[in-house]
Amino acid sequence: MKKYFAVKAVFTLFAGMAIVSCGGGGNDYTSTSRGTGWDVTGKNGFELNTKYKEQDTGPGLVFVEGGTFTMGRVKDDPMHDWNNTPNQQHVQSFYIDETEVTNGMYLEMLEYIKAVFPPEDEEYRNIYNGAVPDTLVWRNRLGYNEEMTKNYLRHPAYQNYPVVGVTWIQSVEYANWRTDRVNELILNEQGYTSKDALANQEAGATFSTETYLNAPTLTYGGDEEKTKGGKRSEQLEKQKTAKAAKQGDGTGEASGLYVTRKDGVILPGYRLPTEAEWEYAALGLGSVREYNAYRGRKKYPWDGQYTRSGKRKTRGDHMANFKQGDGDYGGIAGWSDDGADITAPVKFYEPNDFGVYEMAGNVSEWVADVYRPMVDDEFNDFNYYRGNVYTRNKIGADGMIAIVSADSIPYDTLSNGKVIARALPGEIQQEAIDDNETYLRTNFDRSDNRDFRDGDAQSTKYFDKKDRLDDENNRMYNSPNHSVTADSLGNLDRQYDKDANRTSLINNEVRVIKGGSWRDRAYWLDPAARRSYPQDMAKDDLGFRCAMSRVGSKAKKTKRPRN
């Protein structure tokens, strides 16, 4: 009898394995198509990555499992700003930087730009100059901070401190640069590109993630020895060439030697977090969850209603650095001090429940959103974000994807006259979408959606008076309209808007900033607090961190019912 049960158990085990192998395992990948039954391992030409498990966590990031939460201020609002009214939102799972971007991390980009696009070269000078943070933000007309202007960015004593003096635009360009360097390293370490692909790069022969995915033969300036000169690529080329010759298709040449999105090797892009993502990550609601409800509401990224630790081991220690009162940026020197008068090194204070550091205090942080006084949850309550500007890859006259060259670098002249590059040579040129993409669509009908339902023509009181919509004074947000232009010699023509009828500072170039800083009182440490700042300006208490979208499953582990 025992022998019978043993044989039966073994049979059941193998039967279960057979069912899984035949496609009965839910989301398990199989070697045959569930739709047609055909082989999908490449034997018949079509190939899927059947061994893919889940997205790798990019350098510097931590995973944040998405969910529903109350966005906005849930405690008393003594300021009565009415710009953070509570509303229920849901965010998808995503990744966010464990810490703010540091001086050392940012200097890595500056050194790369200096090496590849030498500033002594006239055609590349504005690339480097436009990327350098504004160190003069430390100056105060009645304060002595000259050593900060000289040392904060570059001195090794500050290399693990959050970078400041960066505009929103510079933050976005750093995220784009970081995306390319991370994916370039992944391809190189996995043997797709040649060993020397990372070294001795020159302008016009650099790696761009989107260029590689859309037009791989144009990557590294068209140098195929780099793009498919790695050991893995060489092995694939030999295998596929032999296969093509064996099948007698007459070519004897290999195809599919470049990594594509369906291979799951390349990571999604680094970017700034949306306001909803940032606030959700800062709250770290896991500690106040009980079954399917939150116990109470959190005032700070940590538990409790106070700015000092209540734990027995660390009782009395500050949970963040912030301004505690007039002339008090750190407290009395010694044990009761918060350990910092300006910024503090990252990871100086305890992380929240997601493992994210300094989401309160240290520096305020740029997020991706365009600022508006209200969050329009009546229109959308899923992955809320205001700031979508849809573009497409530009196609050149030759019918090929247009690549940015030294002669076609897109520059922005900021309101202070600083010139900054918005794309680097080797990247794909972008252009606004047109009616070909928007015709008869119901989910979007324009390229620029920053003022959708709150600032566009249809949302003003003149929505039904077409003859008055063209008058800029009839805008919902009648903000100053400054302009700066440069002539062929580089001389700036600054046109300052002196119109006395301007009524607002809100426009599509003003971004949300979140989190209190070393200059702020405890009121601003609430993750719900929100302020705005022009996207082309910088401060000594404003930095940023990056995020990355999660593709695939919402959770990393299978959920089980709690007993």
Range of the domain at 139: 103-272+368-549
> Are residues 442 and 542 located together in one domain of the fold?
yes
Distance between first and last Cα of the chain = 36
Separation CA 362–CA 352 (nearest Å): 15
> Are residues 42 and 107 located together in one domain of the fold?
no
Residue 557 domain flag: no
Separation CA 195–CA 172 (nearest Å): 29
Q: Which residue has the tokens 């249809």?
A: 458
Residue 381 domain flag: yes
Residue 481 domain flag: yes
> Are residues 20 and 111 located together in one domain of the fold?
no
Task: Determine how β-strand 542-543 pairs with β-strand 364-370.
Answer: parallel
The candidate with the shortest Cα–Cα distance to 528, out of 353, 283, 314, is 283
Task: Using DSSP, state whether 82 is helix, strand or coil.
Answer: coil
Q: Which residues contact 271 (CB under 8 A, 6 or more apart)?
A: 172, 175, 368, 546, 547, 548, 549
Residue 141 domain flag: yes
Among residues 51, 71, 86, the one where a domain terminates is 51
pLDDT at 295: 67
Residue 69 domain flag: no
The upper half-sphere exposure of residue 549, i.e. CA atoms within 13 Å in the direction of its Cβ, equals 6
Q: How many other CB atoms are there within 10 angstroms of residue 31's CB atom?
A: 13
> Are residues 480 and 395 located together in one domain of the fold?
yes
Return per-residue pLDDT of the chain as tens, 563 residues.
444 444 444 444 444 444 334 433 344 567 888 888 888 887 777 888 888 889 999 999 999 999 999 999 877 777 777 898 999 999 999 999 999 999 999 999 999 999 999 999 988 999 999 999 999 999 999 999 999 999 999 999 999 999 999 999 999 999 999 999 999 999 999 999 998 899 878 888 999 999 999 999 999 999 988 998 888 877 777 777 776 666 655 444 445 578 999 999 999 999 999 999 999 999 988 777 766 777 667 788 887 777 877 777 777 677 789 998 999 898 888 777 888 999 999 999 999 999 999 999 999 999 999 999 999 999 999 999 999 999 999 998 888 999 999 889 999 888 888 889 999 999 999 999 999 999 999 999 999 999 999 999 888 888 887 777 677 777 889 899 888 887 767 778 888 888 888 889 999 999 999 999 999 998 999 999 999 999 999 999 999 999 999 999 999 876 665 54
> Are residues 161 and 251 located together in one domain of the fold?
yes
Separation CA 176–CA 54 (nearest Å): 23
Task: Using DSSP, state whether 523 is helix, strand or coil.
Answer: helix
- Which amino acid is it at 341? D
Residue 464: burial class (beta carbons within 10 Å; 0-12, 13-18, 19+): exposed
Residue 57 domain flag: no
> Are residues 379 and 526 located together in one domain of the fold?
yes
> Are residues 239 and 382 located together in one domain of the fold?
yes
> Are residues 528 and 410 located together in one domain of the fold?
yes
Separation CA 103–CA 155 (nearest Å): 9
Residue 399 domain flag: yes
Separation CA 181–CA 546 (nearest Å): 14
Among residues 32, 51, 70, the one where a domain terminates is 51
**DSSP state letters, 204-229:** TS---HHHHHH-GGGGGGG-HHHHT-
pLDDT at 49: 83
> Are residues 10 and 134 located together in one domain of the fold?
no
| C-beta separation of 259 from 211 below 8 A | no
**Distances in Å between the alpha carbon of 401 and those of 105, 268, 296, 398, 432?**
32, 21, 53, 9, 15
Torsional class of 80: left (φ above 0), alpha (ψ -120 to 50), beta (otherwise): left
Separation CA 478–CA 470 (nearest Å): 13
> Are residues 374 and 254 located together in one domain of the fold?
yes
Based on the structure, what is the number of domains in the chain? Answer: 2
pLDDT at 268: 97
The candidate with the shortest Cα–Cα distance to 102, out of 162, 43, 59, is 162
Report, in angstroms and rounded to the nearest whole number, the Rg of the chain calculated over CA atoms.
27
- Token digits of residue 76: 């008393």
| C-beta separation of 252 from 245 below 8 A | yes
Task: Using DSSP, state whether 171 is helix, strand or coil.
Answer: helix
> Are residues 248 and 390 located together in one domain of the fold?
yes
> Are residues 417 and 528 located together in one domain of the fold?
yes
The upper half-sphere exposure of residue 284, i.e. CA atoms within 13 Å in the direction of its Cβ, equals 24
Among residues 51, 68, 92, the one where a domain terminates is 51
What is the 3 state secondary structure string of 376-436?
A: CCCCCCECCCCCCECEEECECCCCCECECCCCCCCEEECCCCCEEECCCCCCECEEECCHH
pLDDT at 562: 55
Residue 145 domain flag: yes
